[in-house]
């Protein structure tokens, strides 16, 4: 497959740009975007950090050749900032039309006059000329080596995802097996699922259900990440796991310690079982298995080309790393868990809940919502919680019950949200709220996550991680 060139913008950035380009006057308008650059396994992604609107008649004026153009002052100011911050420079303007658009010969000629010099100014980042119609977008990506590549798509990531291509009909086929669910989101929606790359971090009780659901929905590429093997105690909650996967006859209680050790050595890695589940659900689903820890740099990097990330691992380090990837690379993500809390003194059940917490381009991050407590991160770093890693508990001393039904509520809700997002189904409710189901009281809570504008991860401040892509290191640990 040839590499894809993609621009990612948030819904808020898109609305600003769209309102500026298409105020209803059928006239031409211009803008610039500064974007972080990500080199992923699928190609190059440009993650918009800032949209700078060119004021009509001041920054965007009639040129000598009869077409309107960005003024030299505007280009200089914006490209200087790009150079200083190590970002790509993207010049944007609009054309008439709706569902199809392309650069004109005049656009190309003006790129050829100006872009080689701009590439020199930027010193290592791409320069892009993009053109938008109401429902389509196209452009040329110039790389520092002077090679030119068509901009394949613009992804608007917010409560729902909008995929904008040079021609609206680029995505419109659907395979026969899926006609029933395609009645909900259309052939186009089904095709969008097939083209999606989705990561499941953590293949435990919740992760195994996620894999099953995502594969059956028709997701084309799953990346599954876990560094553990299946254990007998996993079996009641692990969809599709077999006793043989856990080497149960060797590892069960009562066997001598050395026999149990051998059993563990031959037990199947969870990612292998996850791949089997996915393939059985949908043989066309491509599965990448990563038997490793997401807090390691090489594993974390596999997330950067994803369209969506499910975080079902229990460690705070995993939260820290996935949170960083989501904002740095503009990828929607969701953290999910289920918990049965038990009082230490008498074993009474005090709380039961399933939670789903979306985070990513349009919401506050896990830091802002106190979900990565520094003290717990520090404890993990020195290994205090090793025994509790397989559980979803706040108190490592509490034995953690875990039940397949409570896990399923979280998994189903999260995959449902993902389906609405990726297929672009319109809906009234904002898909960015935290979800919490409480079976004991019979309540379902939706809360709006906090967002700190000054946050170093998701905030608007210049030093924040948001949209920096490869220009910032991830908070991973060395092996």
Give the binding site for Zn ion (CB under 5 A): 104, 107, 365, 367-368, 455, 457-458
Residue (296 or 472) nearer to Zn ion, CB: 472
DSSP state of 110: H
Q: Which is nearer to Zn ion, 140 or 457 (CB)?
A: 457
In 3D space, the residue among 12, 6, 107 whose CA is nearest the CA of residue 51 turns out to be 12
**Bridge-partner residues for 106, per DSSP?**
none
Name the residue nearer to Zn ion (CB basis): 18 or 424. 18
How many other β-carbons are positioned within 10 Å of the β-carbon of residue 26? 8
Give the shortest CB-363-to-Zn ion separation in angstroms: 9
d(CA 17, CA 92): 9
Nearer of residues 142 and 353 to Zn ion, judged by Cβ:
142
H runs (alpha helix) in 282-353:
297-300, 316-328
| Of 101, 108, 100, nearest in space to 91 by CA | 108
Residue closer to Zn ion, measured from CB, 28 or 297:
28
Q: Is 113 exposed, middle or buried (0-12, 13-18, 19+ CB in 10 A)?
A: exposed
- Both tokens of 32, joined, read 């610039």
Minimum CB distance to Zn ion, residue 449 (Å) = 9
Query: Which residue, among 168, 165, 281, has the nearest Cα to 219 in the 3D structure?
Result: 281
What is the closest distance, in whole angstroms, from the C-beta atom of residue 199 to Zn ion in the complex? 21
Instruction: Identify which of residues 310 and 367 has a Cβ nearer to Zn ion in the complex.
Output: 367
For Zn ion, the closer of residues 94 and 281 by Cβ is 94
How far apart are the C-alpha atoms of 16 and 134, rounded to whole Å? 14
- CB nearer Zn ion, residue 232 or residue 364: 364
Task: Name the minimum Å distance from CB 67 to Zn ion.
Answer: 7
Q: Are strands 136-142 and 148-150 parallel, antiparallel or unpaired?
A: antiparallel
Are the beta carbons of 92 and 64 closer than 8 angstroms? no
Closest CA to 218 of 177, 183, 277: 177
15-24 contacts: CB < 8 A, separation 24 or more?
16/51, 16/53, 17/51, 17/53, 17/92, 17/132, 18/132, 20/53, 21/92, 21/93, 21/94, 21/132, 22/94, 22/134
């Amino acid at each position: 497959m040839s590499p894809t060139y993609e621009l990612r913008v948030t819904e808020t950035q898109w609305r600003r740009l769209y309102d500026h380009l298409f105020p209803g006057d059928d006239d031409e308008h211009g803008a610039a975007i500064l974007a972080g650059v990500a080199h992923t396994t699928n190609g190059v992604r440009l993650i918009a950090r800032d949209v700078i609107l060119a004021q009509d008649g001041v920054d965007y004026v009639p040129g000598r050749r009869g077409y309107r153009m960005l003024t030299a002052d505007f280009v200089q100011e914006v490209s200087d900032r790009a150079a200083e911050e190590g970002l790509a420079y993207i010049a944007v303007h609009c054309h008439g039309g709706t569902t199809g658009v392309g650069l004109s010969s005049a656009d190309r000629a003006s790129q050829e006059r100006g872009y080689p010099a701009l590439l020199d100014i930027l010193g290592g980042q791409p320069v892009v000329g993009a053109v938008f119609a109401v429902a389509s977008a196209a452009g040329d990506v110039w790389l520092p080596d002077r090679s030119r590549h068509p901009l394949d798509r613009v992804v608007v990531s917010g409560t729902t995802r909008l995929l904008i291509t040079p021609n609206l009909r680029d995505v419109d086929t659907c395979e026969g097996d899926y006609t029933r669910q395609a009645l909900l989101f259309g052939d186009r929606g089904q095709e969008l699922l097939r083209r999606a790359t989705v990561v499941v971090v953590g293949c435990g009780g919740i992760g195994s259900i996620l894999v099953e659901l995502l594969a059956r929905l028709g997701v084309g590429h799953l990346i599954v990440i876990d560094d553990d093997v299946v254990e007998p105690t996993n079996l009641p909650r692990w969809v599709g796991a077999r006793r043989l996967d856990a080497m149960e006859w060797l590892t069960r209680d009562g066997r001598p310690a050395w026999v149990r050790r051998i059993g563990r050595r031959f037990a199947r890695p969870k990612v292998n079982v996850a791949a089997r589940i996915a393939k059985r659900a949908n043989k066309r689903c491509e599965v990448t298995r990563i038997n490793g820890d997401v807090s390691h740099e090489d594993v974390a990097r596999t997330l950067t080309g994803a369209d969506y990330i499910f975080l079902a691992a229990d460690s705070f380090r995993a939260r820290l790393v996935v949170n960083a990837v989501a904002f740095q690379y503009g990828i929607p993500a969701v953290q999910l868990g289920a918990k049965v809390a038990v009082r230490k003194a008498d074993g009474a059940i005090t709380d039961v809940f399933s939670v789903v917490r979306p985070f990513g381009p349009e919401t506050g991050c896990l830091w802002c919502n106190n979900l990565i407590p520094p003290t717990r991160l520090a404890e993990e770093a020195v290994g205090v919680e090793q025994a509790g890693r397989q559980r979803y508990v706040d108190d490592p001393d509490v034995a953690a019950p875990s039940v397949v039904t409570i896990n399923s509520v979280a998994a189903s809700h999260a995959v449902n949200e993902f389906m609405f997002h990726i297929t672009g189904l319109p809906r009234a409710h904002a898909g960015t709220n935290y979800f919490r189901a409480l079976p004991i009281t019979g309540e379902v809570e939706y809360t709006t996550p906090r967002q700190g504008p000054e946050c170093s991860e998701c905030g608007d401040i210049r030093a924040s991680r948001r949209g920096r892509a490869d220009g910032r290191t991830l908070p991973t640990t060395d092996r």
